[in-house]
Structure 1
Amino acid sequence: MKKAEMGRFSISPDEDSSSYSSNSDFNYSYPTKQAALKSHYADVDPENQNFLLESNVGKKKYETDFHPGTTSFGMSVFNLSNAIVGSGILGLSYAMANTGIALFIILLTFVSIFSLYSVHLLLKTANEGGSLLYEQLGHKAFGMVGKLTASGSITMQNIGAMSSYLFIVKYELPLVIQALMNIEDTNGLWYLNGDYLVLLVSLVLILPLSLLRNLGYLGYTSGLSLLCMMFFLIVVIFKKFQIPCPAEIAFLVNETVNGSLAQPAAFVGFNRTESDSCQPRYFIFNSQTVYAVPILTFSFVCHPAILPIYEELKGRSRRRMMNVSKISFFAMFLMYLLAALFGYLTFYEHVESELLHTYSSVMETDILLLIVRLAVLVAVTLTVPVVIFPIRSSITHLLCASKEFSWWRHSVITVSILVFTNLLVIFVPNIRDIFGFIGASAAAMLIFILPSAFYIKLVKKESMKSVQKIGAMFFLLSGIVVMTGSMALIVLDWVHNAPGGGH
């Protein structure tokens, strides 16, 4: 699950954020993986940030002993991997089904490399710009416009993540209830309606947790989310060798004479012709191919968590953090590739935009799938309040930063965010649209456009004619092309194929 909110401190909203950066006797609270939460609280005036000491003349910024990190290299890799992996993994098989194996691997490789390059730009910009807050880098680079753009992109990305989590509740919870209660006829049962269940879960579970002022359980849910996705990957690989090819089943059914072999209910919906086969395809171009790049960019966004993880890295240096990033990105590259490949080779072009839901179309729910569904549901339900936390903090800071904490304001903003997200989940017909729109807009901003723009503006020691600046400029232009091109193609698909159906 995409968590831009990984990090280190459990900070109360009413605490003075300047105290966390203005004196050397920093008071640590217990370490958690609460990264970008901090970035939404603190917006300290640059002149009041004493990260940079005059006595550290010979050292690079943020690589001094003034604020030493406490997180080991291995734990930093875990934290960053956890920030990368998200609900986007459920849409990767759908992307492969609409690009082909070879084209998907090419796109996955390029998106992962570009994401890693943007981390390099971001770290260098933080060192030269003198800030470890994403929004403050935007403020230093482009004033209030830059700050609002950075904050808006992070907020959009988190709303997209929230929506994808609630989509999973909408798709999977009815199947879990149906399996547990052994219900065959689902017609007219309100408690098997995904829209009602999303509202119920939001009201009974998510809202009370979201109203808390501190999220001390964050570290546990972060680890649980990553473990759930690893378990999900293992099950996807296992099921590939257990589920027969849908085309072969349909072929056998069509060849049966006098109904001596009835089509199994498990494969209803796969009415394929004899000419169909289960042969993998390597290059595919269709109307849904345009969603591949946005889904991939959505899956690799972790940039709001980069700077807080960097700040907490023990023995902090840019090279050490880049090594953390390389290992994390490579691990997630392999995880994404395996999940997409085995999901695609199980269902081929019949993969739905949410892979886990596809299994219910081809087989009765067995105990393994039920456990996976329960694990994923628990993880996403506990993660939604975590994602609301930085959105609410950002909105509060932008609208009423100087005002004291108010439970009334706190509650109204929380309820408003939840209502807006629930409306998205109920009225947007397809999780693919969430992956596509957020991936093409906010994710493209966070991966391509903002890091390169900040780098070009804030890194003064390199001229505009240097290789580094020219590379950043090309990266910026490529991000603009990716964002505008993807958005245009997605909107065209919406216009020509509305309404979007299925899952």
Structure 2
Amino acid sequence: MELQKINGHSREDGFDGLDVLAEHEEFLPHKIGVKKENRFTDFEGKTSFGMSIFNLSNAIMGSGILGLAFAMSNTGIILFLILLVCIAILSAYSIHLLLKSAGVVGIRAYEQLGNRAFGAPGKIVAACIITVHNIGAMSSYLFIVKSELPLVILAFLGRQHNTGEWFLNGNYLIMIVSALIILPLALMKHLGYLGYTSGFSLSCMVFFVISVIYKKFIIPCPLEYLNITAINETDCEPQLFTTNSQTAYTIPILAFAFVCHPEVLPIYTELRDATKKRMQTVANISIMAMFVMYLITALFGYLTFYGNVESELLHTYSKVDNLDVLVLCVRVAVLVAVTLTVPVVLFPIRRALLQILFPEKPFNWFVHIAIAFCLIFVVNLLVIFVPSIRDIFGIIGATSAPCLIFILPGIFYVRIIPEDQEAFRSRPKIQAACFAALGFIFMIMSTSFIMIDWVTGESRSGGGH
């Protein structure tokens, strides 16, 4: 019975015998009566199934949702749907590879998987990729706060123009929001406690999606409110398949919209009664929920503005009516959502830095608080002093997102799964290797497109995660 049920996990939970024994060799003492040194993963998860879904869904949901309608306008409805389905399936498969690798060796940290696969260099590379990518994501969220919050305050004051008061300065506003909201949430010890704010954040994005649907039936076409001199009949006809110079950015936009992999293993660690099957279900439900929200937002946003939709959907609504009450409420909802997402994104960065700087140290409140403060400080400096960080985020996303989704999970799986379980030329390992190769192709293509844009001087459209 003890072999069949270890720490509450039965065989029916989805573990096979080797995975259970291997994992609990890492978490339980090897000898009775000998105290094992505590590690940051050595505690029983207490986060419920529902809260874990909220946290992972909130990690998936990002500012990229505002650019999906623009992506659909550059691909057509059918091609966009095909690409969205493919990216969602590949993301779920990528999480499967991570969970399988973590289960075999009993490790639930991305950086430690790198260490197990390639030693210290693998651990450092994984930690650096996570840090760079998530700092970019945090910065993109605070850029939304910097640009949108002054407009919301102006609307509440009933004014059309910014007259230069300090409370309408975006730089001051992001510092205030960081100090009063983001920092206190980032100081929590465990990621699971953010499930409540994640649930509220997701409810704000649901309101955004509902508003996009409603506006489709309110805003007429042709768009008489927009300053468009020539309107063709085709402007109000949806395209099923289309390509143009901006189509190449659709795959990066969609890929960035599903990046959640640095958060998967920390959420897995804190999941109550954690098993691979249970965590994979959390991931599948979260991806499916975000797939539905992304598709609805893109479809109804596109069917509202057709070829006139901008890369940032909220800006397009503002051109119709800048003082529209519903649009104002949507702006507030999006601001709340991205603000509450920043602490969730910060947790994996802090864990990555702890793995590099203090791998064997027990939990320390001073280090915990200092890292959170320094990260938020650095991100604030980026948002304040870099006038246009859009292309920088593009190149970071084109390199770090494929690594996190495709390359690292694939090569970790090939290196970590023992050959006595799966031969090197077995079908699962060949699939994982092809998956990693696809990531390299995607990274080269995305980087090339951005470089071509820089060389030609064309404005780059789209958004990151």
Range of TM-score over shorter length: 0.7 to 0.9
**From 141, 146, 157, the counterpart of 1:181:** 157
1:474 is the counterpart of 2:437: no
Cα deviation, 1:343-388, whole Å, max 9, x if unaligned, reads: 1111223322222232112213322222222232233334434433
Shift in Å, 1:331: 2.0
User: Residue 448 of structure 1 corresponds to which residue in structure 2?
Assistant: 406
Counterpart of 2:72, as a letter, is M
Flag the 1:132–1:200 CA change in 2: closer, same or farther, 3 A.
closer
Across the aligned residues of Structure 1 and Structure 2, the Cα RMSD in angstroms comes to: 3.6
Q: Which amino acid aligns with 2:320?
A: V
The yes-or-no answer on 1:236 pairing with 2:195 is no
CA contact (8 A) 2:226 2:320 kept: yes
Q: Is the CA contact 2:71–2:247 (under 8 Å) kept in the aligned structure 1?
A: yes
1:414 matches 2:389:
no
Q: How far apart, CA to CA, are the structure 2 residues paired with 1:408 and 1:467?
A: 44
8 Å CA contact 1:294–1:435 kept in 2: the answer is no
Q: 1:418 to 1:305 in 2, by over 3 A?
A: same
Q: Aligned pair 1:205/2:205, yes or no?
A: no
The CA distance in 1 between the partners of 2:166 and 2:46, in whole Å, is 50
Q: 1:500 and 1:134, CA in 2 relative to 1: closer, same or farther beyond 3 A? A: closer
Verify the 8 A CA contact 1:198 1:422 in the aligned structure 2: no
Match of 1:106 among 69, 82, 87: 82
What per-residue deviation string (whole Å, max 9, x for no partner) do you get for residues 143-165 of structure 1?
Answer: 11211122122212311221221
Change (3 A) 1:104 1:497: farther
Q: Contact 1:225 / 1:380 at 8 angstroms: preserved in 2?
A: yes
Instruction: Please tell me whether the aligned partners of residues 92 and 295 of structure 1 are also in contact (alpha carbons under 8 angstroms).
Output: yes
Contact map agreement 2:25 2:106 (CA 8 A) in 1: no
Runs of 4+ in structure 1 over 6 Å off: 52-55
> Does structure 2 conserve the Cα–Cα contact (< 8 Å) formed by 1:95 and 1:295?
yes
Map of 1:345 onto structure 2: 303
Structure 1 distance, partners of 2:174, 2:233, is 41
Could you tell me how far apart the structure 1 residues matched to 2:97 and 2:186 are?
A: 36
C-alpha separation in 2, matches of 1:309 and 1:388:
13
Counterpart amino acid of residue 445 in structure 1: C
Q: How is 1:38-117 mapped onto 2 (pairs within 5 angstroms)?
A: 49-51=26-28, 73-117=49-93
TM-score normalised per structure 1? 0.75
Q: Measure, in 2, the Cα distance between the counterparts of 1:502 and 1:131.
A: 36
In 2, the alpha carbon distance for the partners of 1:408 and 1:132 equals 21
Is the alpha carbon distance of 1:269 and 1:388 closer, same or farther for their aligned partners in structure 2, counting shifts above 3 Å? farther
Counterpart AA for 1:387: V
CA distance in 1, matches of 2:430, 2:458: 41
How far, CA to CA, are the matches of 2:188 and 2:140 in structure 1?
24
User: For each residue in 1:33-88, what CA deviation from the matched residue of structure 2 results, as whole angstroms up to 9, or x when unmatched?
Assistant: xxxxxxxxxxxxx9993358799xxxxxxxxxx98765555554444333322222
What's 1:301 paired with? Answer: 259
Residues 223 and 413 (structure 1), Cα distance of their counterparts in 2 relative to 1, 3 Å cut: closer
1:132-152 deviation per Cα after TM superposition (whole angstroms, max 9, x unaligned): 221111100011121112212
- Where does residue 277 of structure 1 map in the other structure? 235
What residue in structure 2 maps to residue 330 of structure 1?
A: 288
In 2 relative to 1, CA 437–102 (structure 1 residues): closer, same or farther, beyond 3 Å? farther
Distance 1:83 1:289, change over 3 A: same
Distance between the aligned counterparts of 2:65 and 2:29, measured in 1? 39
Structure 1: how far apart are the matches of 2:411 and 2:434?
11
Distance 1:380 1:154 in 2: 19
C-alpha distance after superposition, 1:203-253 (max 9, x if no partner): x535753784647862332111111111111111111111122x342xxxx
Give % identity: 51
Name the SS of the counterpart of 1:49 in structure 2.
Answer: helix
**Equivalents in 1 of 2:24, 2:275: separation in Å?**
23
Q: Distance in 1 between matches of 2:202 and 2:281?
A: 20
1:388–1:74 distance in 2 versus 1, CA, 3 Å: closer
- Out of 267, 289, 293, the position equivalent to 2:247 is 289
Contact 2:246 2:461 in 1 (8 A): no
Residue 377 of structure 2 aligns with an amino acid whose one-letter code is: L
8 Å contact kept, 1:90–1:355: yes
Q: 1:318 to 1:385 in 2, by over 3 A?
A: closer
Distance 1:54 1:355, change over 3 A: farther
TM-score by length of 2: 0.80
Shift, 1:494, TM fit: 2.7
Greater mean deviation of Cα atoms: 143-152 or 449-458: 143-152
* Unmatched tracts of structure 2, length 5 or more: 1-5, 9-22, 33-41
Supply the AA of the counterpart residue of 1:205. Answer: L
Report the Cα distance in structure 2 between the residues aligned to 1:140 and 1:133, rounded to whole angstroms: 11
SS in 2 for 1:277: helix
**Letter in structure 1 aligned against 2:451:** V
Separation (CA, whole Å) in 2 of partners of 1:168 and 1:458: 40
> Residue 99 of structure 1 contacts residue 284 of structure 1 at CA under 8 Å; is this kept in 2?
yes
SS of residue in 2 equivalent to 1:128? helix
Q: Are the aligned partners of 1:135 and 1:148 in contact in 2 as well (CA < 8 Å)?
A: yes
Q: CA deviation at 1:502?
A: 11
| Matched residue, 2:198 | 222
Q: Report the AA paired with residue 26 of structure 2.
A: Q
- Which deviates the most, 135-144 or 391-400? 391-400
Deviation at 1:322, TM superposition (A): 2.9
Give 1:443 shift: 1.8
Q: CA deviation at 1:396?
A: 4.9
User: Which of 148, 151, 158 in structure 2 is aligned with 1:172?
Assistant: 148
Higher alpha-carbon deviation: 352-361 or 374-383? 374-383
1:371-382 matches, within 5 Å, as 371-382=329-340
Q: Report if aligned partners of 1:298, 1:435 keep a CA contact under 8 Å in 2.
A: no
Q: Flag the 1:333–1:390 CA change in 2: closer, same or farther, 3 A.
A: closer
Q: Given the superposition, is the C-alpha separation of residues 283 and 409 from structure 1 closer, same or farther in structure 2, using an over 3 Å criterion? A: same
Query: What are the ranges of 5 or more consecutive residues in structure 1 without an aligned counterpart?
Result: 1-23, 27-45, 56-65, 250-266
Separation of aligned partners in 1, 2:199 and 2:142: 19
State which of 310, 331, 348 in structure 1 corresponds to 2:268. 310
The 1-side partners of 2:316 and 2:103 are apart by 46
